[in-house]
Copies of this chain bind each other. A is one copy, B any other.
Amino acid sequence: MPTSAPPSNTSSRRPRRAAEPVRPYHHGKLKEALTEAALDLAAEAGEEGVTMREAARRAGVSPGAPFRHFPDRKSLLAAAAEEALRRFRGELDIALAAARTGGPLERLKALGLGYLRWALRNPAHFQILSTRAIFDLDGAETLREDNAAIIAMMEATIAEAARSGQLRDGEVRLFVIAGRALVYGFARMFIDGHFPRWKIESEEAERLAEALIDLFITGISAKPAA
């Protein structure tokens, strides 16, 4: 009912080779449209707001149509997560590139800050990309690749810091997991609505994020040779 009416075509009936793809739907890039709708829905109402029927409605197709492209709801969520993770990874690449002249600990900080900034600014997308057994799906190769790439960035940076003697004694793996748990935990505390209980105002969240990362880096650093 409330869906915007399909743009009434000028006149001629399907000039098959014309340039504008203006006619209703009946075909086209439905898969992309559904994925985009899923991302919008997640941003508007969280993961549980992502619905096959509503995505279909927004794409202007019937309730059964999405099942031609996604075997089930989980697959649609995975496609949305894939796109969200692609964007997330892009941000981290940029953050890391901007800090590439610095030392490993400086780059680690840039990475952590990029991570938390994105999570704080795109909570719903961070949510769908982190929750659920979406990773177990078959078609989730891009997802796994992007995820592995992000893990690798962190690992390489910390390993480099360790090699150059900037970290205190300890396993690199432990530092990596601790760093991830810290940023993931802070991001999820936000997403899961814990900030009010901790009296964290949303305006101070990014400042706090930076302080946490500094604390972490200082905590795993070698003591100054004073």
- Chain A residues within CB distance 8 Å of chain B: 48, 130-133, 135-136, 144, 147-148, 151, 170, 174-175, 177-178, 180-186, 188-189, 192-194, 196-198, 200, 208, 211-212, 215-216, 218-220, 223
Contacts and interface: CB of A to CB of B under 8 A. Distances in A.
A97 B175 CA distance: 30
A180 B144 CA distance: 28
A216 B220 CA distance: 9
A33 B59 CA distance: 43
A69 B61 CA distance: 40
A181 B212 contact: yes
A interface SS class: helix
15 contacts: A132-B192, A148-B197, A174-B208, A174-B215, A175-B215, A178-B212, A178-B216, A181-B181, A181-B182, A181-B183, A183-B185, A185-B188, A218-B219, A219-B220, A223-B223
Contact of A197 (B151, B178, B219): B151
B184 A189 contact: yes
A82 to B, nearest CB: 15
